[in-house]
Structure 1
């Protein structure tokens, strides 16, 4: 029996298909880093995040008094999602106002540094001692002491709520 090589998918085709799927996914930002904010308000982005965030990114007020650092496409996706519900929903309108009014476009300089605007440093109480964490499709910038307190407070709950948050995921 003669097989036609064009009719059967090869492992190269499967690899190419997987690569295409992965290219469509947003970046996966992971880990904890401890850069410093310099006297001019600049922070060196963790090297692993630089390529994942891309040349244009957005900083915005985050939850629990941190600063979100998002790739532009992810920021736009979130803003569009909120805007779809905002016209008739007062809470969504208010959230959108606060979220967008505190958002700033950022481009890293040649050394991979970004300016953390004073307004966001004040909001998150950021001095020079900070923590940058990867949270999947975004990074968060925290005051180091606030992050350590938050983490210590939430670690027990992390185990307790695993079944509620991840019911279908098996480890």
Structure 2
């Protein structure tokens, strides 16, 4: 399983190309051969998946019932704009203009790794998001993770 780590400040060039940071590229050893997929995030950001991860997501989506309207709507909106990315000889990827417009991304961006995906945020939007950290992060952690018994000793 891919486990991506890090947060990277980057800049898009005038053509919408993003230089993949070398320390991130090292975490994606087969990226040149396998490629990446970029898609809309649930908020106003983009998400980059290694191609194999995207294929797993598509496999899960294909198991959903296409006769249910909500399923069709979800799949339609979730996959809207999904595009393959490939690194050029300089280690850059060209981000689709329509996706950049959707997320309000131009110039400074933040790449924020989460498990097996990379979120792409405009720097301003990401800073605002983090400025809105819950007042009591411990309460949020308890709400989200508190029902899980994470002890290994069986007590």
| 1:48 equivalent among 3, 6, 23 | 23
Partner residue, 1:34:
9
**TM-score (norm. length: structure 2):** 0.85
Cα drift, residue 122 of structure 1:
0.4
Cα drift, residue 46 of structure 1:
2.0
* Structural RMSD (CA): 1.7
Larger strand proportion of the pair: 2
1:51-62 equivalences under 5 Å are 51-53=26-28, 54-55=31-32, 56-62=35-41
CA distance in 1, matches of 2:53, 2:130: 25
Report the structure number with the largest CA radius of gyration: 1
Q: 1:158 to 1:80 in 2, by over 3 A?
A: farther
CA distance in 2, matches of 1:84, 1:121: 30
Larger helix proportion of the pair: 1
Q: 1:43 to 1:161 in 2, by over 3 A?
A: same
CA distance in 2, matches of 1:61, 1:121: 9
CA distance in 2, matches of 1:90, 1:139: 29
Cα drift, residue 112 of structure 1:
1.2
Q: 1:153 to 1:85 in 2, by over 3 A?
A: same
Cα drift, residue 157 of structure 1:
5.3
- Unaligned segments of structure 1, at least 5 residues: 1-24
Partner residue, 1:123:
102
**TM-score (norm. length: structure 1):** 0.77
Corresponding position: 1:87 with 2:66: yes
What is the number of equivalent residue pairs in this alignment?
Answer: 145
